[in-house]
């Protein structure tokens, strides 16, 4: 049956918006290098398995994208995201047996570094006599754990870290990642925790040089970023298990908005979180469920990502089993 005209129009509009976005985006400098690293990573984790079917692979997106205002960028629109959610979730995904592609905002939180201070190099290390450097007593355990766990994950080929800054880089990289992820079918998961810009200045409309001060009003037109979640689900990796996030500051509209996103983008689950309580509690919204997930407050170092990743990992396993039965 033909789709009603309205929905056909919307689809065409989205397709043309997506095309316009990618056509005008400045090409990634290290595109070939990223493709090579990704192919190697996915190949490695598809062979090395105990059960002969390869590891589950998750792409965790983390931190906020910037929307530049000038081509030779001096200023940009940014958002609050610290990358804590993505970095912490990466640790729990690794614990759950996943291989992780960590697509993160340059300079944001990193896996295994949560116990380190903001300026680890200056605060964790101290100069001893003769200008030798050693780890200070207070951070000794945290530094050793971070270094050992991080190197173990990277060196064993279970963690691939890919940095982005702008919305142009992020969406091009997400598209590149989806290609080999599509090939591994339901074993692939997308965990889209990055706070993605809603508005941007298209590259072709952007001034080249630094915007000059002097006028009272800065008149910049931002246009809506095409909704790539739909494209990811429909075209880029239609069989992958897809989790997106919904953030609101008003708890009264949070679940309704999450349910709306679930249906609109055909996600397998939407994790709803409120800005002020996001580290304590989230709600996992699926087509037939609404599960509140909380941090275990009796343990000082527990994270909400601990039960969250356990739940999503179980759901992903069930999804893989269902997919086998349907074949």
Residues contributing to the site for ligand 9Z3 (CB under 6 A): 81-85, 192-193, 195-196, 244-247, 273, 278
In the complex with ligand 9Z3, the residue whose CB is nearer, 42 or 232, is 232
Question: Least distance (Å) from ligand 9Z3 to the CB of residue 174?
Answer: 11
DSSP-derived letter for residue 238 is: T
As a whole number of angstroms, the longest Cα–Cα distance in the chain is: 80
Q: Is 36:214 a contact under the CB 8 Å cutoff?
A: no
DSSP-derived letter for residue 166 is: B
In the complex with ligand 9Z3, the residue whose CB is nearer, 77 or 192, is 192
In the complex with ligand 9Z3, the residue whose CB is nearer, 87 or 94, is 87
In the complex with ligand 9Z3, the residue whose CB is nearer, 72 or 290, is 290
What distance in Å separates the CA atoms of residue 157 and residue 128, rounded to the nearest whole number?
36
What distance in Å separates the CA atoms of residue 132 and residue 147, rounded to the nearest whole number?
19
What distance in Å separates the CA atoms of residue 86 and residue 61, rounded to the nearest whole number?
6
Question: Least distance (Å) from ligand 9Z3 to the CB of residue 84?
Answer: 3
Tell me the three-class secondary structure of 125-164, residue by residue: EEECHHHCEEECHHHHHHHHHHHHHHHHHHHCCCEEEEEE
Question: Least distance (Å) from ligand 9Z3 to the CB of residue 197?
Answer: 8
In the complex with ligand 9Z3, the residue whose CB is nearer, 158 or 267, is 267
Question: Least distance (Å) from ligand 9Z3 to the CB of residue 261?
Answer: 6
In the complex with ligand 9Z3, the residue whose CB is nearer, 125 or 199, is 199
Question: Least distance (Å) from ligand 9Z3 to the CB of residue 196?
Answer: 5
Question: Least distance (Å) from ligand 9Z3 to the CB of residue 64?
Answer: 7
Question: Least distance (Å) from ligand 9Z3 to the CB of residue 244?
Answer: 5
**Could you tell me where the beta strands, DSSP code E, fall in the chain?**
57-62, 67-68, 76-77, 99-105, 125-127, 133-135, 159-164, 188-192, 199-200, 223-224, 241-248, 269-274, 281-285, 290-294
In the complex with ligand 9Z3, the residue whose CB is nearer, 159 or 171, is 171
In the complex with ligand 9Z3, the residue whose CB is nearer, 207 or 253, is 253
Question: Least distance (Å) from ligand 9Z3 to the CB of residue 322?
Answer: 25
Question: Least distance (Å) from ligand 9Z3 to the CB of residue 81?
Answer: 4
DSSP-derived letter for residue 234 is: I
CB count in 10 Å sphere of residue 301: 9
Phi, then psi, of 147 in degrees rounded to 5: -65, -50
Strand-pairing partners, residue 247, are: 273
Per-residue b or e along 274-297, where b marks 16 or more CB atoms closer than 10 Å to that residue's CB: beeebeeebbbbeeeeeeebebee
In the complex with ligand 9Z3, the residue whose CB is nearer, 173 or 193, is 193
Q: Is 201:207 a contact under the CB 8 Å cutoff?
A: no
């Amino acid at each position: 049956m033909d789709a009603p005209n309205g929905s056909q129009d919307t689809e065409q509009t989205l397709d043309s918006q997506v095309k316009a976005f990618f056509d005008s985006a400045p090409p990634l400098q290290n595109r070939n290098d990223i493709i090579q690293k990704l192919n190697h990573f996915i190949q490695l984790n598809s062979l090395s398995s105990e059960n002969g079917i390869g590891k589950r692979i998750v792409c965790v997106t983390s931190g906020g994208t910037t929307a530049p205002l000038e081509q030779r960028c001096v200023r940009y629109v940014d958002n609050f995201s610290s990358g804590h959610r993505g970095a912490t979730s990466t640790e729990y995904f690794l614990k759950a047996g996943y291989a992780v592609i960590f697509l993160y905002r340059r300079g944001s939180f990193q896996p295994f570094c949560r116990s380190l201070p903001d300026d680890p190099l200056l605060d964790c290390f101290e100069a001893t006599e003769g200008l030798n450097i050693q780890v200070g007593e207070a951070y000794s355990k945290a530094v050793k754990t971070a270094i050992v766990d991080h190197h173990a994950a990277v060196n064993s080929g279970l963690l691939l870290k890919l940095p982005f800054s702008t919305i142009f880089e992020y969406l091009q990289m997400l598209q590149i990642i989806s290609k080999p992820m599509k090939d591994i079918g339901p074993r692939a998961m997308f965990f889209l925790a990055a706070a993605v810009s809603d508005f941007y200045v298209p590259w072709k409309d952007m001034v080249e040089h630094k915007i000059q001060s002097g006028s009272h009003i800065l008149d910049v037109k931002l246009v809506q970023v095409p909704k790539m979640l739909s494209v990811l689900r429909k075209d880029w990796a239609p069989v992958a298990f897809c989790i997106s996030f919904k953030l609101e500051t008003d708890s009264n509209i949070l679940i309704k908005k999450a349910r709306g996103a679930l249906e609109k983008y055909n996600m397998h689950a939407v994790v709803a979180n409120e800005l002020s309580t996001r580290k304590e509690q989230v709600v996992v919204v699926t087509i037939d469920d609404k599960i509140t997930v909380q941090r275990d407050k009796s343990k000082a170092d527990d994270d909400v990502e601990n039960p969250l990743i356990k739940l999503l990992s179980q759901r992903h396993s069930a999804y893989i089993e269902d997919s086998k039965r349907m074949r």
